[in-house]
Amino acid sequence: MKMPIIKNTVTNYIRSAVLLFEGVLVARWIIAFLGKESYGLWTLLWSLFAYALLLEFGCGVAAQKYTANGLYRQDPGRYSRMISTIFTFHCLIAVLLGLITYACSFFLGSITRITDPEKLLYAKNCFYAFGLSAVLLFPLGIFQEILVGLQKIYWRNFIVIACKLLELAGMLLIFRIYDDLLPVVVYTMALAVLSYLVMGACVMYLLPTLRLRLQLDWEIMKEIAGFSGFVYLSMIGRLILNKSSRLLISIFCGLESVGIFQLSSKAADLCMQGVSQYQENISPITGALHQRGRHLMLGRIIIGAMRWNSFAACALMLPAGLLIDPIMMVLFEVSDPFINYLSRLFLFSMYLSAVLRNIPHSYFIMSERHRFASWIIMVEALANLILNIVLLWLGAKVDIVIWNSLLIKIGLCVVVIIPYLLKCLRISLAGFLLQVLVQPMLAGLPVLLYILLLQRYTAWTGWTMLLVGGGGSLIIYLAGMVCLLPKAVVHKYRRKIAKLLQLP
């Protein structure tokens, strides 16, 4: 079975870099050409419509799973009915989303605190443009999930990259002609719809037997709901995990503490972007191999993926933790020891997620163990929520909130998640520890020594320490990684990368 893992992963990194670059430029351009008020409206609209994803109810992951399982080959008619049912359900949700948009427009003045009638009308027009695009994009989103299920992630990435580059070029032209946010919104949303339509055309090309119709099969809907309902439960759990801490800190400690908490998480978030691009391959691979009964191969791939994530996490997060002082100074002009201490805690928490949580979660979801995966996330979310309320009510500070989350995560990984994963994959604990934890940590020891020597014998700070320390650490870690990995693995990936880059 051919799996374009390298191509998918490399294009994921390129897509992330383009999105980061585009986000920075768009923010700077809107502020420079239209002012901070327009930028505030822009970010608010994006934030509001991001919550529309909660109306997806996990059906997109269901489409990805049925595609990865190869149902389009085994039973094209049933596959078409399933995809048509999901598409039709999303069309109905899109109509509901349009009605919600219209209803919310009457409260836009309260949300934005705009009192000027002319400005409020302008904000409503932008809001309607966002709402209309959300209505169109919602059902079309199924196509990118199908591409992921087909392991054509790189197709999706090429489309997104082209769209974002066109978006930047068009926005710059609009800013030169118009002194107005509305044309920017319309152009951006039109490009987004176009990109989804192109993905749809790609799906129809790859799956000529797919017959997409507006039809709702209730028997199939019940079957889909048995899977997507638990995926949706996972989404709610992740929302509680990611958002509740900030809200509770705001209630008990004030906005300044929320700012400290948010700032402290930035370095870990950036590192996670560098680590997580490989993970998207796991879901379609798991679905395909599990359906075919190739459990031994799947076990090797899951452990290999966790080992890769562990190497990548160590390569980025170990130097980041040791160099957090210059990182925070260079990126955010912050030199607060307490914020740096919190940043290290966040880095360790993200390391645990990258190494022990994310890959197993994808495996559980796509191997008919979605109930287990969903309940684990809900238990973690509720434990965090309840204990944070109690601790903050008793007078705990921000660091205790992070420690609480960290200890709950460690407990669940050690006691529940990893033992169950090893049982499912039939892999020994010793082999798991050696490949996933010991080898990446051994590769990190020279990095630890290198940075400690730099800090001991130089007075470098800021960019100098960041470039010399970070760049040197990456080279040293890669060398250690090559020495520790099996030679066959090194040669295999070297051949794949050379083929991808068309090198001799």
What digits encode the pLDDT tens for the residues 40-79?
888 878 877 777 777 888 888 899 999 988 888 889 999 9
Predicted confidence at residue 503, as pLDDT, reads 45
Measured CA angle at 200 (ends 198, 206), to 5 deg = 105
> Could you say which DSSP state residue 214 is in?
S
Predicted confidence at residue 504, as pLDDT, reads 42
Which of 29-38, 170-179, 385-394 is predicted least confidently? 29-38
In a domain, 34, yes or no: yes
Does residue 453 or residue 111 have the better pLDDT?
453
Q: Are 151 and 285 in contact (CB under 8 A)?
A: yes
371 backbone dihedrals φ, ψ, rounded to 5°: -65, -45
In a domain, 52, yes or no: yes
Average pLDDT over residues 175-198: 91
In a domain, 70, yes or no: yes
Average pLDDT over residues 433-459: 94
Predicted confidence at residue 323, as pLDDT, reads 95
Does 111 score more than 70 pLDDT? yes
In a domain, 56, yes or no: yes
Average pLDDT over residues 227-234: 89
In a domain, 26, yes or no: yes
What is the residue range of 65's domain?
Answer: 1-216
Domain count, the chain: 1
In a domain, 446, yes or no: no
Q: Which residues contact 438 (CB under 8 A, 6 or more apart)?
A: none
Does 2 score more than 70 pLDDT? no
320 backbone dihedrals φ, ψ, rounded to 5°: -65, -40
Among left, alpha and beta (phi > 0; psi -120 to 50; other), residue 3 is beta
Confidence class of residue 369 from pLDDT cuts 50, 70 and 90?
A: very high
Predicted confidence at residue 410, as pLDDT, reads 96
In whole numbers, what is the pLDDT of the chain averaged over residues? 89
Q: Are 426 and 299 in contact (CB under 8 A)?
A: yes
Confidence class of residue 87 from pLDDT cuts 50, 70 and 90?
A: very high
Q: At 465, list the tokens.
A: 């320490």
Task: Report the predicted TM-score, pTM, of the whole model to 2 decimal places.
Answer: 0.86
Confidence class of residue 10 from pLDDT cuts 50, 70 and 90?
A: confident
In a domain, 493, yes or no: no
In a domain, 483, yes or no: no
Helix ranges (DSSP H) in 115-217 = 117-140, 142-149, 153-177, 182-206
Q: Which residues contact 470 (CB under 8 A, 6 or more apart)?
A: 319, 323
Q: Which residues contact 291 (CB under 8 A, 6 or more apart)?
A: 68, 69, 70
Average pLDDT over residues 416-420: 96
Q: Which residues of 336-350 are buried (b: 16+ CB within 10 A; e: fewer)?
A: eeebbebbbbbbbbb
Does 420 score more than 90 pLDDT? yes
Predicted confidence at residue 356, as pLDDT, reads 94
Average pLDDT over residues 7-20: 89
Average pLDDT over residues 147-153: 92
